[in-house]
Structure 1
Amino acid sequence: MEGKAFVIMVLSGLCTLPSCFPRQYHLVEEGKNWTEAQSYCREKFTDLATVDNQEDMAKLNEILGRHYKGIVWIGLYDDINSWRWSLENKSYYSEEEAEFRMWGGNEPDNLYNNESCVFIDWAGMWLDAPCSFKQPFICYNGAIEAQDSSRFILVNESKTWTEAQSYCRERYTDLASVRNQAENDEIKMKNQGSNAWIGLFRDLWKWSDGSATSFTNWNTENSEPNGYIAESCVASRYGKWEDWPCSQRFYFACYNDVPVTKQVVRVKLTKTDSSVDLEDLKEAILQQMNQRLKDRGLSGDVKLRWVKQPDGKIFHKEEKEEEEEESCNLI
């Protein structure tokens, strides 16, 4: 009995899908501050280095370790101006209302380098603070249509900002958004002279190229990010990440996308035992094929994966005059 399968071979060339672009890292051995390094990378390459997973991290560390053992900027930074409301319904805000702010003096100051949530104080002014602080909070009740103070509810329980958000969403609408001076005065009166969370917050760390932050490699032995004042940019030091003042001048790592193409190859597999299910062996077969590529020096340039048929299966039997065959796709 024989079986056929399709394999997709990923080769260097052209590709239109974002997932088809592996990253190539470059160390630039020039001392620049983080903003200068960002501009350089965007001009010469794609952007400052972005790391999405452990494989990317290994590639980057290989480049950094080969050339330089010091501190090197990467693309992660703390965007202290990315404030937005927990209540994201755009119809709730008229023009510029989502941008209304009542910051206190020198706020937001990001004093502890992790102040990404906002509370209103007794005087009606706003301050940024670590979201882990516990204090009362103000909820917004969207079910109340009348323009009176009953739309805002003071919950006099000490909770973190995230806990307060969950509480408000479960029982009312959301944490309070403040759209204008009148609403700020209204909440100030409701606040009864204490501090209370409102719905303004920001993401702590972002990549320069806008990629989602799903992977980190902080130097936990040094308690990084350690929260020192004004350390809003990230550098790799001996393969681990640390926050530093953006004004420091370090070498830096850029990346660019390496385009690749996909090629579908059909392979035929012969079974010596008719009781064997090729679906159970697909990973072992793929490993053997990858090993053969590696033995021929192609493992870094070619990656293989199976292609599923419309019915969700990889292998298909094919009838011939005197024997059955199974076909499948491999990428």
Structure 2
Amino acid sequence: MEGKAFVIMVLTGLCALPSCFPHQYHLVEELKNWTEAQSYCREKFTDLATVDNQEDMAKLHDITGIYHNGHVWIGLYDDINSWRWSLENKSYYGKGEAEFRMWASTKPSNLFTKTCAGMGTDAAWWDGRCNATFPFICYNGAIAAQDSSRFIFVNKSKTWTKAQSYCRERYTDLASVRNQAENDEIKTIIPQGTDAWIGLFRDSWKWSDGSATSITNWNTKNSEPKDNITEACGMSRVGKWETWLCSHRLFFVCYSAPLTKQVVRVKLTKTDSSVDMEDLKEAILQQMNQRLKDRGLSGDVKLRWVKQPDGKIFHKEEKEEEEESCNLI
């Protein structure tokens, strides 16, 4: 097992896999709010329009160009319900504890620019810009609860991300707050009149199909994306993206993935020439499927190896480094 773990392949062709399955876009000239448009696209096609690369960007611009000067929904939205803890160890949380919240009465603001959370001396939580600097609360999992507090107030002003790094380097992580008792305990270590980061944060812009926003095309001339809109959804206007309230009724663009078989050649580089690639074919396929899942394509794309005329999957290429190529479909 140790040898196989060492032989992690460089999947030189895999990172481009999504481009092998191009999106087909469909302009729907029916007025719907963003949620209604999403349901329609999922029922009739695959989902609201997602953009993975420049080729998708150009195709989306072409189809929205049919609707001159109009606004159309695409699959971009601000995920206001994605709050989660920096400490991801599921065994740390009992039933419902990962969902415990103590927001102040007017919080969270649901502005996409405010995606990190903190606590004040009133024990109420607030959401703020992650690049703002505050002291913070770390959690030290190495300390037993009966000995002393596992929560540490760090009186150093840092951004949320730098506070997270500090806590992970010196303790366990930024503090998770699992229940009322822990919230009360943390309140006692925050100096009066001070605000401090805790480990709660959320994602901002996502695509409707679950994939991350690896490419954007905001209309910067209009100061997009706007930071004063709650429950914001993304729309395209003559090729540039803007933010609007999701309740507006617009035409929209769906996408579908073509149901075709396509052969993709992948080059793999071995770090140990003694390993037989055929023995690792299932592990490699799992890695590829995970990469597709990370890009939101796992439901649309099925992979399998294609055997070559000699009955084998991998074919060795003579180069300075030992490489093997293969086909998958």
Q: Same fold (TM over 0.5)?
A: yes
CA 1:247–1:22: 2 relative to 1, 3 Å:
same
CA 1:143–1:31: 2 relative to 1, 3 Å:
same
In 2, Cα distance between equivalents of 1:123 and 1:33: 39
1:226 is aligned to 226
In 1, Cα distance between equivalents of 2:231 and 2:66: 27
1:84 is aligned to 84
State whether residues 234 and 241 of structure 2, in contact with CA within 8 Å, keep that contact through their aligned partners in structure 1. yes
Overall identity of the aligned pairs, in %: 67
Letter paired with 1:90:
K
In 2, Cα distance between equivalents of 1:311 and 1:115: 51
Structure 2 matches for 1:193-204, cutoff 5 A? 193=192, 194-204=194-204
Give the superposition deviation at 1:51.
0.6
In 1, Cα distance between equivalents of 2:31 and 2:264: 45
Letter paired with 2:183:
N
Give the superposition deviation at 1:264.
9.1
In 1, Cα distance between equivalents of 2:87 and 2:317: 40
2:271 is aligned to none
Give the superposition deviation at 1:238.
1.5
Aligned partner (choices 316, 322, 325) of residue 311 of structure 1: 316
Give the superposition deviation at 1:21.
3.4
In 2, Cα distance between equivalents of 1:191 and 1:128: 17
State whether residues 25 and 253 of structure 2, in contact with CA within 8 Å, keep that contact through their aligned partners in structure 1. yes
Return 5+ residue gaps in structure 1 as ranges: 1-16, 266-306, 315-327
In 2, Cα distance between equivalents of 1:204 and 1:18: 23
Pick which of 222-231 and 249-258 moved more.
Answer: 222-231
1:72 is aligned to 72
1:277 is aligned to none
State whether residues 120 and 198 of structure 1, in contact with CA within 8 Å, keep that contact through their aligned partners in structure 2. yes
| Secondary structure, counterpart of 1:227 in structure 2 | coil
Give the superposition deviation at 1:213.
2.1
Deviation digits for residues 146-185 of structure 1, max 9, x if unmatched? 3455311111111111111111111111100001111100
2:112 is aligned to 113
CA 1:34–1:264: 2 relative to 1, 3 Å:
closer
Q: Which has the higher strand share?
A: 1
CA 1:181–1:259: 2 relative to 1, 3 Å:
same
CA 1:83–1:231: 2 relative to 1, 3 Å:
closer
Letter paired with 1:64:
T
| Secondary structure, counterpart of 2:66 in structure 1 | helix
State whether residues 138 and 173 of structure 2, in contact with CA within 8 Å, keep that contact through their aligned partners in structure 1. yes
| Secondary structure, counterpart of 1:186 in structure 2 | helix
State whether residues 79 and 206 of structure 2, in contact with CA within 8 Å, keep that contact through their aligned partners in structure 1. yes
Q: CA RMSD in A?
A: 2.5
2:187 is aligned to 188
Return 5+ residue gaps in structure 2 as ranges: 1-16, 266-307, 320-324
In 2, Cα distance between equivalents of 1:119 and 1:329: 50
Letter paired with 1:159:
K
2:140 is aligned to 141
In 2, Cα distance between equivalents of 1:239 and 1:183: 49
Deviation digits for residues 243-273 of structure 1, max 9, x if unmatched? 11111111110011112223699xxxxxxxx
1:162 is aligned to 161
In 1, Cα distance between equivalents of 2:326 and 2:210: 35
Deviation digits for residues 4-44 of structure 1, max 9, x if unmatched? xxxxxxxxxxxxx9875321001111221111111111111
| Secondary structure, counterpart of 1:127 in structure 2 | strand
Q: Does 1:59 align with 2:45?
A: no
4+ residue runs over 6 A deviation: 328-331
In 2, Cα distance between equivalents of 1:251 and 1:149: 59
| Secondary structure, counterpart of 2:253 in structure 1 | strand
Across the two proteins, how many residue pairs are aligned to each other? 260
| Secondary structure, counterpart of 2:65 in structure 1 | helix
State whether residues 19 and 53 of structure 2, in contact with CA within 8 Å, keep that contact through their aligned partners in structure 1. no
Give the superposition deviation at 1:67.
3.8
Give the superposition deviation at 1:100.
0.8
Letter paired with 2:315:
P
In 2, Cα distance between equivalents of 1:198 and 1:263: 48
| Secondary structure, counterpart of 2:80 in structure 1 | coil
In 1, Cα distance between equivalents of 2:108 and 2:225: 19
Give the alignment's TM-score, normalised by structure 2.
0.73
Letter paired with 1:259:
L
Greater length-normalized contact order (CA 8 Å, ≥ 6 residues apart): 1
